[in-house]
Amino acid sequence: CRAIYFAAYSTAKEKLNGVLEPDSTLVHMVSAGMAGFTAITVTNPIWLIKTRMQLDARNRGEQRMSALECVRRVYQMDGIRGFYRGMSASYAGISETVIHFVIYESIKRKILESKARASMDEEESVKDASDFIGMMLAAATSKTCATSIAYPHEVIRTRLREEGSRYRSFFQTLLTVPREEGYGALYRGLTTHLVRQIPNTAIMMCTYEVVVYLLGR
């Protein structure tokens, strides 16, 4: 999923830089949106199977459902379209990706500009460990902001992917959950999600920047 995402993001950003103002906020927003749309469309069936297996509740002593059994069960119940349940919520989650990358790119640009001013050499291209630590902090900050704003789509997506779910569409679920469980239900599990996502995103973005830097040398 990450490989597809970053490949699509880099490609879109490269193309858009030749059409729009290079490395502008608009370029980052559109690139992130296109990358998110591509990755979600390709990988949704995988995440649906994962969610179904996590939610699988068998009686004690029974063997848990395997991935192959889960695939067969989804197909028998809903056909091919069953593998794309919850995709509308995932598309809504593109907003999280857009917010994340816009904030990240903005912080990264300020870090690089600050270093250039400090060294009095705007053409400086050599990076050291402090640059990548700064990018990890930028990634952690941007991911925290983006996830906190867009988290409800995660709850809605999980509800839509439940087997036999009475939730049928994004907006129907968005209205039903707070009406029946209160608005706090839309943020249930946020803390755990942040604990998992922030270190993961910081390491992933730093690794991406290191690879891009090494390949560009």
Does the pLDDT value for residue 112 go beyond 60?
yes
* Closest listed residue to residue 99, CA positions, set 138, 147, 152: 147
Residue 26 and residue 9: Cα distance in Å, rounded? 13
Q: Which tens digits make up the pLDDT trace of 31-42?
A: 988 998 999 899
Does the pLDDT value for residue 128 go beyond 80?
no
Q: Is 138 exposed, middle or buried (0-12, 13-18, 19+ CB in 10 A)?
A: buried
pLDDT range class, residue 87, cuts 50, 70, 90: confident
Residue 208 and residue 213: Cα distance in Å, rounded? 9
pTM of this structure: 0.71
Host domain of residue 194: 2-216
Residue type, 95: S
Domain CATH code at residue 161: 1.50.40.10
Indicate the number of domains in the chain: 1
Average pLDDT, rounded, for the chain: 85
Q: Across residues 14-40, what is the average pLDDT?
A: 89
Q: Which tens digits make up the pLDDT trace of 147-169?
A: 999 999 999 998 888 877 788 88
